Amino acid sequence: MLSGVFGLHQVVDSGSLSFVIIDGSTVQEPGATETTYRLHIAIDLISLTLRQVEVSTDKIGESLTIMCWNRAMSC
């Protein structure tokens, strides 16, 4: 989608371009009054694919160290 807007088809098709955003959200179990879990998601905006999803306890804060920072975004 973004590749078409900016004319980046060749770069995207070669696999040499990623634009990844990271989000950390809180999740509450039904009836809970506080955060139960944290959901950490990495999304590639060029290909609109999920790169990584992590679920942690409420004790783990938002941090970029949770994500794997290699080309494949895998640990």
Identify which has the larger pLDDT, 41 or 68.
Answer: 41
Tell me, what DSSP letter sits at residue 65? G
- Within a domain: residue 5? no
Q: Could you give phi then psi for residue 2, rounded to 5 degrees?
A: -65, -30
| pLDDT value of residue 1 | 55
Domain assignment present for 69: no
Q: Is residue 38 part of a domain?
A: yes
Task: Give percent of the chain above pLDDT 70.
Answer: 67
Beta bridge partners of 37: 27, 57
Domain count of the fold of the chain: 1
Domain with 38, as residue range(s), is: 19-59
Task: Please name the residues in contact with 52: beta carbons below 8 A apart, sequence gap of 6 or more.
Answer: 40, 41, 42, 67, 68, 73, 74
For range 47-73, the mean pLDDT: 77
Establish if 68 belongs to a structural domain: no
- Tell me if 68 sits within 8 A of 75, measured CB to CB: yes
What pTM was estimated for this model as a whole?
Answer: 0.65
Average pLDDT over residues 17-46: 87
In a domain, 52, yes or no: yes
Predicted local distance difference test score (pLDDT) of residue 31: 92
